[in-house]
Amino acid sequence: MALAVGAAVLTAVGATTLAASTTAATIVGSVVITGALVGVSYATQTLAQQKPKRERQQATLNEAMGPRRFIYGRALVGGTRAFWDARGGMMFQCIMLAGHEIDGIAEYWIGDQLVTTDGGEAGGNVTTVPMNGAIFFERYLGTAGQTAALLLTTNFPEVWTANHRLRGIAHVCVVFKGVPEKHQNKVFPQGANTVLRFVVRGKKIYDPSLGWMDPENPAAWLWGDNSGDVILDYLRDANGYRRSLAQIDMPAFADFHAHCAENVPRKDGSPVGRYRTWGTIGFDEEPQAVLARLCASCDATLYQGPSGKIGIRNSVWTGPLINISTRHITGAALSQGNDKLDSYNRLKVSYTDPNNYYQPTELTPRDDLSSQAAIGVIEETRDLVMVPEWTQAARLQKIMMAKENPIWKGSIATDLMPLDALDAKVVDITFDPVPGGAEPLMNAPCEFTAFSLRGDASGCDIGFRSVPASAFTWNAAVEEPPRPVTPASVVQVNIIDAPTSVVATIERPALSSSINGVSIRLSWAASSRSDVTPEAQYSATGVGDWIAMSLAGDGLSAVTPLLSDGGSYDLRVRFVAGGTASDWSAVGPVTAVADEVLTGPPTGFVANGGSGQVMLAWTAPNSSNLGSVRLYRAPVGAGFGSAVVVTTVNLAPNQAFDMIDGSLLVGNYEYWARALNRSGLGDASSTAGPVTAAVS
């Protein structure tokens, strides 16, 4: 067998060791890549799916040489402003969109308003009021025969010559023309920095289902968003994974193309392609992280088979053809049940909705109600940043939750028999440590998450997780969640009322059985207008930049990511439509507190005075969320409001503690001991004292 695809993921094999391995299995995206190299072992690591920054994707930045990027499918993007200068009362700029030829620009946006142009997709003069006649676009798709931008060669011939063709770089040249001063704020709402964005139909890619298309001739390729074709293109691109056609298992990718192209009916009967991929990828991103993100958009499995070629598997259920039975198993470490505290039972998923300005849009959470009844709600979130449609995100949400919360998982040590199963999609594992019973302890279809051959070739060490067939079925009539609410078509507006009934509430998702995270949800009343979209932001009070919040599916709330416990935050929301925004409605500062339950006071609090010192002792409250105990001191009669902090000590619940407060002047003192929870909260109800001590 050939080497596994580079820098993929090895999952640890329970109590077994990989240090002596000579054959290893790795994971890209969500599944196994198999491969072997005699005498070499691989380190175990976890692949974090790096997310592209949406703010950068839609921003226009001033950089002479910014990082280039791919655009697949459709995306709303800004770009790198590589040229920016004024001449003759007009401002000229050149905005770089992509590091390859694109299929076209479907829409032009100025600020938050979609505008029309007299040249259609080719650009030209803006015809939308009030920008009409004041802004001009000149579009270049990045073709091999591209000429230099006429706007720049004509107006800046000393800088931009006919040799500045920028072939292979899609870009737009823009002119802001002079307008009367009284109209400037309407035409250019942010002045020279007025935001320009474009809905781009991205890279042309090879389609293995079209027999006439030459896989080695990009000039013959067409725009497409089939997830399998996108992964194939990235694997082959010189700025992506850099693999040749000879290194690709093309029949496997042809099969996967057909799988992604299948129509899946929605609840209303309308069809949608099974898997599509939209979004941007930076040339400077780690290829393995990109592959993980691409695989997540279609539940794909990349693998490298015996021929050494990279193949791809779909997520269609295939019953196991190979059984690993008890007689082949020499040892096992198993975990049963998806209500364990290292799993989750609520999965929140967001996707990129083109009807919501290509912003992250949250689906209805998927819940395991039986697990929640047993251990409470443990929540996990996933951002399917390259998924453009809500039912696709919902189908992936179901598969993801089933795979990541298996009924069985663990590791087994075996003889050499499982070598026959290396290329299997699913195997059946039957394990009965005490033969003779009515039923074996475990009998389940499983997929490998790790595989190693021992150095002495005495057997195999395998990590696995069970995979239910039900994860890969979909009944839209029963399982399809409500479509998230998105704004109606934007119309010309004059005044937009600010959001009302704006309220910030603390949410405390469970991170484990005893530890909560903390986030803030901002909610507001629905606008009387149907053409607006909310825009919500948060910031660390007084020090942070404003950061976009994730909008809920109903459009009436937004939530922050997990925040720093005890941090202070300001939040705001406004309505936007057609290039016009309402005033902000602000809330804050709000303190993000993960634990609001007080501990009760310390017990047995005593103070004994002496020469220049006081000896103190107490027992911490027997509360599981205890964080620390803080000691206060004040002269007798001064009261708690005048007390100073002597010390803060971290204690376990019910822990006894004593100390000496020394170097004191002669006099009488009062002491208080206040218990604080893990978020640092405490009040009079968690305070013991005062106790009095005389110092001689």
Instruction: Please tell me which residue, 596 or 331, carries the higher pLDDT value.
Output: 331
| pLDDT 10s digits, 479-536 | 999 999 876 554 444 578 899 999 999 888 877 767 788 899 999 999 988 888 899 9
Separation in Å, CA 484 to CA 218, 352, 501, 553, 593:
38, 11, 21, 4, 29
Provide the residue type at 175 as one letter: V
User: Does 641 score more than 70 pLDDT?
Assistant: yes
For 45-195, list the strands marked E by DSSP.
60-62, 69-72, 74-77, 79-87, 90-98, 102-110, 113-115, 123-125, 135-140, 170-176
CATH number of the domain that 645 lies in? 2.60.40.10
Does 232 lie in the same domain as 176? no
pLDDT for 339: 59
Residue 192 is classified by DSSP as G
Q: Residues 86-91: what's their mean pLDDT?
A: 92
118 and 157 co-located in one domain? yes
The reply to whether 609 and 586 lie within a common domain is: no
Q: What angle do CA 260, 263, 268 make, to 5 degrees?
A: 140
Contact 183, 130 (CB under 8 A): yes
Residue at a domain's end among 313, 345, 366:
313
The token pair at 573 is 């929301």
In a domain, 571, yes or no: yes
Q: What's the confidence (pLDDT) of residue 341?
A: 63
577: tokens are: 């439509």
Q: Are 87 and 190 found together in one domain?
A: yes
Q: What is the mean pLDDT of residues 30-49?
A: 28
Could you tell me if residue 652 is inside a domain?
yes
Q: What is the CA radius of gyration of the chain?
A: 31
Q: What is the pLDDT of residues 421-458, one digit of tens each?
A: 877 888 999 998 887 767 888 999 998 888 899 989 89
How high does pLDDT run on average in the chain?
Answer: 85
Per-residue pLDDT, 129: 81
Q: Does residue 694 carry a pLDDT above 70?
A: yes
Neighbours of 613 (CB within 10 A): 16
Question: pLDDT (tens digit, 9 = 90+) per residue, 175-229?
Answer: 999 887 767 777 887 888 888 999 999 999 999 999 999 999 999 999 999 999 9
Domain endpoint, select from 313, 334, 364 = 313
Residues 84 and 189 both lie in one domain = yes
Phi, psi of 336, rounded to the nearest 5 degrees: -120, 140
> Residue 54: in which H helix or E strand, if any?
helix 54-58
Same domain, 574 and 612: no
Is 383 part of a structural domain of the chain?
Answer: no
pLDDT computed for residue 410 by the predictor: 92
Q: What b/e string do you get for 288-311 counting C-beta neighbours within 10 Å, with b at 16 or more?
A: bbbbbbbbbbbbbbbbbbeeebbb
The predicted pLDDT at position 37 comes to: 24
Q: Tell me if 365 sits within 8 A of 355, measured CB to CB.
A: no
Number of Cβ within 10 Å of residue 564's Cβ equals: 11
**What strands, in cross-sheet order, belong to the sheet with 170-176?**
60-62, 79-87, 90-98, 170-176, 135-140, 123-125
Residues 6+ apart with CB under 8 A from 684: none
588 sits in which H/E element: strand 585-591
Residue 58 has pLDDT above 90, yes or no: no
Confidence of residue 645 (pLDDT cuts 50, 70, 90): very high
| 3-state secondary structure at position 380 | strand
Domain total for the chain?
A: 4
pLDDT at 45 over 80: no
* pLDDT above 60: residue 287: yes
CA distance 57 to 51: 11
Chain position carrying tokens 């950089």? 63
- pLDDT score recorded for residue 26: 36
CA 527 to chain CA centroid, Å, is 29
What is the rounded distance in angstroms from the CA atom of residue 520 to the CA atom of residue 647? 32
Give the closest residue to 555 by CA, choosing from 335, 277, 357: 357
- Highest mean predicted confidence (pLDDT) among 50-54, 104-108, 621-625: 104-108
Contact 280, 52 (CB under 8 A): yes
Q: Write down the pLDDT at residue 8.
A: 30
Most confident of 43-47, 59-63, 428-432, 597-601: 428-432
pLDDT category of residue 29 using cuts at 50, 70 and 90: very low
Alpha-carbon gap, residue 359 to 484, rounded angstroms: 12
Q: Which residue has the higher pLDDT, 272 or 41?
A: 272
Give percent of the chain above pLDDT 70: 88
- Whether 679 maps to a domain, the answer reads yes
Give me the pLDDT at residue 56, please. Answer: 53
Residues 607 and 563 in one domain: no
Residue 489 CA from chain centroid, whole number: 28
In a domain, 636, yes or no: yes
- Domain extent at residue 682: 603-695
> How many H-runs (helices) and E-runs (strands) does the chain carry?
9, 45
As a whole number of angstroms, the distance between CA 447 and CA 21 comes to 20
Res 99: pLDDT? 94
Name the DSSP class of 5.
Answer: P
**Same structural domain, 171 and 258:** no
- Given this model, what pLDDT does residue 168 score? 93
Does residue 633 surpass a pLDDT of 60?
A: yes
User: Both 308 and 234 in a single domain?
Assistant: yes
The widest CA-to-CA distance across the chain, in whole angstroms, is: 101
Structure tokens at 556: 């009436």
Q: What is the Cα 324 distance to its own chain's centre?
A: 36
Displacement of CA 478 from its chain's centroid (Å): 27
* Structure confidence by residue, pLDDT tens digits, 91-111: 999 999 999 999 999 999 998
Question: Based on the domain organization, do 587 and 609 belong to the same domain?
Answer: no
Residue 582 has pLDDT above 80, yes or no: yes
pLDDT at residue number 631: 94
Q: How far is CA 187 from CA 71, 130, 176, 393, in A?
A: 29, 6, 9, 38
pLDDT for position 487: 65
Residue 401's pLDDT is: 92
Average pLDDT value for residue range 625-644: 91
Distance CA 67, CA 141 (A): 18
Q: How much is the average pLDDT of 451-474?
A: 91
Quote the pLDDT of residue 575: 92
- Highest mean pLDDT, choosing among 352-366, 485-499, 538-552: 352-366
Q: What angle do CA 383, 385, 390 make, to 5 degrees?
A: 85
Q: Is 674 helix (H, G, I), strand (E, B) or coil?
A: strand
Residues 162 and 269 in one domain: no
Cβ neighbourhood burial of 119 (10 Å; 0-12, 13-18, 19+)? middle
The predicted pLDDT at position 11 comes to 26
Q: Please say whether the beta carbons of 682 and 674 come within 8 A.
A: yes
Q: Indicate the residue among 532, 562, 591 that finishes a domain.
A: 591
Task: Assess if residue 252 is contained within a domain.
Answer: yes
Q: Is the domain of 542 the same as that of 579? A: yes
Per-residue pLDDT, 491: 47
Indicate whether 288 belongs to any domain. yes
370 within domain boundaries: no
Give the pLDDT confidence of 121-136 residue by residue, as tens digits.
999 999 988 888 899 9
Q: What is the DSSP letter of 147?
A: P
- Of 14-28, 146-160, 232-246, 591-605, where does mean pLDDT reach its minimum? 14-28
Separation CA 285–CA 592 (nearest Å): 33
